[in-house]
Structure 1
Amino acid sequence: MTLANPIYLLLLLLLIPMVWWHFSRLRKHEPTIKMATTAPFRKLPVTMKTMLVHLPFFLRMLVFILIVIVLARPQTRNAISKNEQEGIDIMLAMDISVSMLHQDLTPDRITAAKNVATEFISNRPNDNIGLTLFGGEAFTQCPLTTDHAALLSLLVRVNCNLQRQGVIAPGTAIGMGIANAVTHLERSHTKSKVVILLTDGENNTGNISPLTATEMAKNLGIRIYVISVGVPGYENQSNTEPLDNDTTANGVNNTNTLEEIAAQTGGLYYSAQSTDELSEIYKDIDQLEKSKLTTTNYNKRYEAYQLFGLVALIIFTLEMLLRLTWLRRLP
């Protein structure tokens, strides 16, 4: 509650002379009936009426205080904050080919990618985020959603066993992964649409080439951030056995194509050779792609003096009734 005219509160200083005048007047008041002595009256019992002899005066003071408050115009404020959040639609396209099991990142490439992606998702509560997985073919692990708890539970289950078990085709279909992610963003109505592509190999299978899928993304205004993971040449020292017809375990990485994918769509290309570097890359993307938040405040004031005025009227009426009846004094 606020006061529109707080200057009127200075009138409360008048209470000091009013109280002084009241009690001074009582001491100087000439008695109506003069008696030789008042000693017998001192032995009379103290009644309720005697104890409340000053009540009308204090009621009058209370009325005065309430009138001053009315003059100060107390007001209540109804504040409405309207937050308009414009999030970003982000599709994570993650490579789950066998070579993602290499341990040049801690504890391995796929686990490091999952851990860093989990932190990235947790830091963007206003965004629609989805997850595309690809090996020799691509599929949607989670469509665009703001239910990040559900997304994270699906991300936890991501592994490279699908290729090992022959559930998905061998190879690395980067173009298919991009195309799958772009398909989800094509229906998006947000101004900012992003694909974060993470892979450790080059495109060696699939019906759609990476550059064809990139052209699709470019035409739809979708930026692609490309993250290449892995230490060059590490695969030659690794004991990971590739699946039949799967060259991704050799970790051949065509950086020229990956750089072109990012450049054509207005994104950026990154190379992560350690878990720390991968974490820093996601933090960099997080800073580049910020959600816009617009806050509009509506403030409306309501006059609240009416209640104080009503209470003052009731107390004044009570005071007058007491003065004229039960607490009436002789002139």
Structure 2
Amino acid sequence: MSFGNIYWLYAFPPVLVVLLLIFYHTHKVRQSLIKSFASPTLLPTLLSSYSDGRHNLKSFLFLLSLLFIFIALAQPRYGYTWVDQTSKGVDIVFAVDVSKSMLAEDVKPNRLERAKYGILDLIPKLEGNRLGLIAFSSIAFLQCPLTLDYNAFTESLKQTDPGVLNRGGTDIAAAIRAAIPVFSKENNHRILIIISDGEDLEKSGIEEAQKAAKDNISIYTVGVGTPSGELIPIKNTDTSTDFMRDSEGNIVKTKLDEATLTKIAESTGGFYTPLGIKGEGLENIYESVIRYLDKQDLSSTLRQVPIKRFQWPLAIAIILLICQMLISTRSRKIIKHAPHIVAFLFLLNPLPQDLNASPTKAYKSFEAN
């Protein structure tokens, strides 16, 4: 057995303690009020119809019914059933640049890690859509095929780093070519999101993007880094830090190429956006495009769903409450002792002052008649 919201069970003990304190305080106040109305010798007669046992039983049944209400609220689940679930959404492939230039730290902690954080933050909003992942530098590799398993996608994304390909350079065209066969032919909406600093060394990204547009693939580019550029740190084996150099020994400075990324996106009807400090660029693509696309059937699978059993404890709680209401704290002896009770109530109400008898006034009234 499992529970859909077990916190209700955690909440019952403190509620029970509070109710017991209230019951105890109420009992003390009631006893004090009863003693103030009559003498100790008269109380047993007046309260002979009242049963402490029945009162305690009513309180117990109430608390027990409350326990079963809390169990019902905790949504107990027992057993499973199979449900045919059809997923609706669109196909989205992320192509992440893992070249050495993505290690530049002009955004923190570096360009690549910032891009991965942005995708991770967006995943909850993409539920229902199939996600795929391509890592690329001078070559491209399908890191994760299109899937509805977001845990598998997340693990693949976390493992994405320059060591995956171990190749230098950046070829955005290679990423586009690798993405085309990944998409399903049946889905009309195919989204390719390229996250890169835009340094397309092969300069063939725009041409390949135009080919992708013919396959109904919309490309959206996300720029990571700054136009002013940054050096690329290299960790040496002795833990010291150096910077990447070209073949002539000069330190390389990598810059964000927004112009190239813009042309690649616009050639397919998409657009370019900078990633931003908190991944606002990816959020912009979702809010502007993805959320408004018509969702299509992606797959039909049998899913094991737990059976909710809240009806059982709820029914028990209702039965206990009915029993609690049917039990009276007084016995039928109340009819036998009715005269005593009436006398007791009469004594509690003093006579009005104008009803006091006067012998003199009575004699004068007799003589007048």
- The offset of 1:86, in angstroms, is 3.2
Percent identity between matched residues is 28
Specify the alignment match of 1:307 in structure 2. Answer: none
CA contact (8 A) 1:83 1:293 kept: no
Instruction: Give 3-state SS (helix, strand or coil) of 2:187's partner.
Output: coil
- The offset of 1:243, in angstroms, is 6.6
CA contact (8 A) 1:99 1:248 kept: no
Specify the alignment match of 1:306 in structure 2. Answer: none
1:149-206 CA deviation, whole Å, 9 max, x = no partner? 10101111111234xxxx5321011110121112212x4311210000011132114x
- The offset of 1:264, in angstroms, is 1.3
- The offset of 1:293, in angstroms, is 5.4
Q: Matched residues in 2 for 1:98 and 1:258: separation?
A: 18
CA contact (8 A) 1:98 1:249 kept: no
Could you say if the C-alpha distance between residues 265 and 249 of structure 1 is closer, same or farther in structure 2, counting changes exceeding 3 Å? farther
Could you say if the C-alpha distance between residues 148 and 92 of structure 1 is closer, same or farther in structure 2, counting changes exceeding 3 Å? same
Specify the alignment match of 2:271 in structure 1. Answer: 268
Runs of 4+ that moved beyond 3 A: 82-86, 236-240, 243-249, 291-294
- The offset of 1:249, in angstroms, is 5.6
1:8-34 CA deviation, whole Å, 9 max, x = no partner? xxxxxxxxxxxxxxxxxxxxxxxxxxx
Establish whether residue 256 from structure 1 lines up as the match of residue 253 from structure 2: no
Establish whether residue 155 from structure 1 lines up as the match of residue 152 from structure 2: no
Q: Matched residues in 1 for 2:251 and 2:129: separation?
A: 32
**Partner amino acid, structure 1, of 2:145:** P
Specify the alignment match of 2:92 in structure 1. Answer: 90
**Partner amino acid, structure 2, of 1:113:** A
Instruction: Give 3-state SS (helix, strand or coil) of 1:197's partner.
Output: strand
- The offset of 1:250, in angstroms, is 2.8
Instruction: Give 3-state SS (helix, strand or coil) of 2:169's partner.
Output: coil
Instruction: Pick one of 196, 204, 207 that aligns with 1:209.
Output: 204
Structure 1-normalised TM-score? 0.55
- The offset of 1:121, in angstroms, is 2.0
Instruction: Give 3-state SS (helix, strand or coil) of 1:262's partner.
Output: helix
Specify the alignment match of 2:290 in structure 1. Answer: 289
Instruction: Give 3-state SS (helix, strand or coil) of 2:108's partner.
Output: coil
1:239-278 CA deviation, whole Å, 9 max, x = no partner? 7622766999632443332211111111111123x422xx
Matches within 5 A, 1:9-24: none
Instruction: Give 3-state SS (helix, strand or coil) of 2:126's partner.
Output: coil
Matches within 5 A, 1:87-166: 87-162=89-164
- The offset of 1:133, in angstroms, is 0.6
Specify the alignment match of 2:189 in structure 1. Answer: 192
Instruction: Pick one of 217, 225, 234 that aligns with 1:222.
Output: 217
CA contact (8 A) 2:232 2:254 kept: no
CA contact (8 A) 2:225 2:255 kept: no
CA contact (8 A) 1:202 1:252 kept: yes
Instruction: Give 3-state SS (helix, strand or coil) of 1:275's partner.
Output: coil
Instruction: Give 3-state SS (helix, strand or coil) of 1:175's partner.
Output: helix
Q: Matched residues in 1 for 2:252 and 2:218: separation?
A: 28
Could you say if the C-alpha distance between residues 201 and 256 of structure 1 is closer, same or farther in structure 2, counting changes exceeding 3 Å? closer
Specify the alignment match of 1:170 in structure 2. Answer: 168
Instruction: Give 3-state SS (helix, strand or coil) of 1:172's partner.
Output: coil
Structure 2-normalised TM-score? 0.50
**Partner amino acid, structure 2, of 1:102:** A
Could you say if the C-alpha distance between residues 221 and 235 of structure 1 is closer, same or farther in structure 2, counting changes exceeding 3 Å? same
Specify the alignment match of 1:183 in structure 2. Answer: 181
Shifted more, 218-227 versus 230-239: the winner is 230-239
**Partner amino acid, structure 1, of 2:280:** E
Aligned length: 205
**Partner amino acid, structure 2, of 1:183:** P
CA contact (8 A) 1:195 1:222 kept: yes
Q: Matched residues in 1 for 2:104 and 2:196: separation?
A: 12
- The offset of 1:234, in angstroms, is 3.2
Could you say if the C-alpha distance between residues 243 and 184 of structure 1 is closer, same or farther in structure 2, counting changes exceeding 3 Å? farther
- The offset of 1:83, in angstroms, is 8.2
Specify the alignment match of 1:55 in structure 2. Answer: none
**Partner amino acid, structure 2, of 1:96:** V
Gaps of at least 5 residues in structure 2 are 1-83, 234-240, 297-369
**Partner amino acid, structure 1, of 2:201:** N
Could you say if the C-alpha distance between residues 212 and 155 of structure 1 is closer, same or farther in structure 2, counting changes exceeding 3 Å? same
Q: Matched residues in 2 for 1:84 and 1:145: separation?
A: 14
- The offset of 1:145, in angstroms, is 0.8
